[in-house]
A and B are shown apart, each in its own frame.
Chain A
Amino acid sequence: MLFEFFAPRLRAFVSKPGADRSVIEDVVQETFVNIWRKAHLYDPEKASASTWIYTVARNARIDFLRKAVRPAVDLTDPVLAVDPIQNPQQQLSQAEEGVRLQRALASLPDKQREVLKLAFFADLAHAEIAKELKLPLGTVKSRIRLALGRMRMEFGEDES
């Protein structure tokens, strides 16, 4: 069941050293309530369930822990630019995208994967990751660029 699978993961996602237990509980609850509230916005063609739940949890974490708002794209915005070159037949299915992404992530050197994990799961910006790992900022930036470049390559997009 959704709750049994995701509740412990969400708690791990929100937990930071020194974080208040009741705040963690608030974020976990808010995430599930928002999943229910926003279920009509979930499009399985566009994202896997865990990706969508990740975005809902991330937004709840920003709301409760950072007490901030996160401006985001509105896909119904009349100003939204659509890709004129995109051929619908070339578009990968969500499942195929997932397979490629996992392949790309699995092939990353540990040091690059560590940076991604700290970014997503320790709630650290890249400058904070550099401090945490006691590395020059440039080293962290280059690990991020190599990791994302590897992902672009997997999706046949590395034009640069």
Chain B
Amino acid sequence: MIRHHPSDELMLDYAAGSLGEASSLALATHLTLCPQCRAANQRLDAVGGNFFAHPVEGTPGQETLNSVMARISSEQAVPRAVAHPLHPALPQPLRLALGCDLDAVPWKRLGIDAYQCVISTRDKIATARLLRIPAGRPVPVHTHCGNELTLVLRGAFSDLTGNYTPGDFQEADDRLVHQPHAEPAEDCVCLAVTEAPLQFKSWAARIVQPFLGI
């Protein structure tokens, strides 16, 4: 049961097409796991479609039509269906961005016993990464210069704002100082999108931060 959903303003930015690629990846992954938000997203698309009903000035443009027709008639048949693995673990938008599924993620050590995998996108403002926090372990206390989105994929974590299980979506801004803990039952795997480098609170974490690459 998903209890934490993306905010209305994030859903609107996604539907309107103004949300950056890294954050859109978190949204698309959540929407794959959450039928309720998927329905809300369809409705927002319909709001966009609705604005098309309003009359506008301007001519269709015969030249445009000619060019479109020329392109269509020279087009080759394109392969259509996407082949999916039999029992994938991660939602497709994430598999596509990673180029692999959960069992093949090239994890890199992050600090003492956490792991990360930075996901390459064309986003210049925000960075998407998978994080794996061992069962029962904390992520060092941190704040953010910008917004941070976290989507749980496996296991669970808790912080002062609540308990997050698979599919749950957390939005944190620079006012939130939190120390998420992975729940003890299993390792917690999350997709984390950060707009700016995290700022760790303790001097020790601050000193090692440049070496952690987070």
> Which residues does A use to contact B, with CB under 8 Å?
3-4, 6-9, 11-13, 25, 28-29, 32-33, 36-37, 40, 46-48, 50-55, 58-59, 61-62, 66-74, 76-83, 86, 97-98, 101-102, 105, 116-117, 119-121, 123-126, 128, 140-141, 144-145, 148-149, 151-152, 155
Shortest distance in angstroms between A159's beta carbon and chain B's nearest beta carbon? 10
Bound together, the chains give a CA A97 to CA B49 distance in angstroms of 13
> Hey, which chain A residues are within 8 Å of B59, CB to CB?
7-8
Bound together, the chains give a CA A40 to CA B43 distance in angstroms of 21
Given contact pairs A77-B91, A145-B9, A12 touches B56 in the complex (Cβ within 8 A): yes
| B20 on interface, CB distance cutoff 8 Å | yes
Q: Which residue of A lies closest to B68 (CB)?
A: A32
- CB pair B42–A46 under 8 Å, yes or no, is yes
Subset of 12 A-B contacts with CB under 8 Å: A12-B56, A47-B45, A55-B45, A55-B49, A67-B122, A73-B28, A73-B31, A78-B88, A101-B43, A120-B15, A144-B8, A148-B40
Shortest distance in angstroms between B150's beta carbon and chain A's nearest beta carbon? 16
Shortest distance in angstroms between B68's beta carbon and chain A's nearest beta carbon? 4
Stretch at the interface among B73-81, B109-117, B198-206: B73-81
Given contact pairs A3-B65, A12-B56, A76-B84, A47 touches B17 in the complex (Cβ within 8 A): no
- CB pair A61–B17 under 8 Å, yes or no, is yes
| SS of B interface (majority) | helix
> Which residues does B use to contact A, with CB under 8 Å?
7-9, 11-13, 15-21, 24-25, 27-29, 31-36, 38-54, 56-61, 64-65, 67-68, 71-72, 75, 78, 80-82, 84-93, 96-97, 121-123, 167
- CB pair A97–B32 under 8 Å, yes or no, is no
> Hey, which chain A residues are within 8 Å of B91, CB to CB?
73, 77, 79-80
Shortest distance in angstroms between B79's beta carbon and chain A's nearest beta carbon? 12
- CB pair B87–A58 under 8 Å, yes or no, is no
- CB pair A119–B92 under 8 Å, yes or no, is no
- CB pair B52–A50 under 8 Å, yes or no, is yes
The list of the 7 closest CB pairs from A to B, nearest first, reads: A51-B49, A8-B58, A83-B35, A125-B18, A7-B60, A71-B28, A77-B92
Shortest distance in angstroms between A20's beta carbon and chain B's nearest beta carbon? 15
Bound together, the chains give a CA A78 to CA B89 distance in angstroms of 9
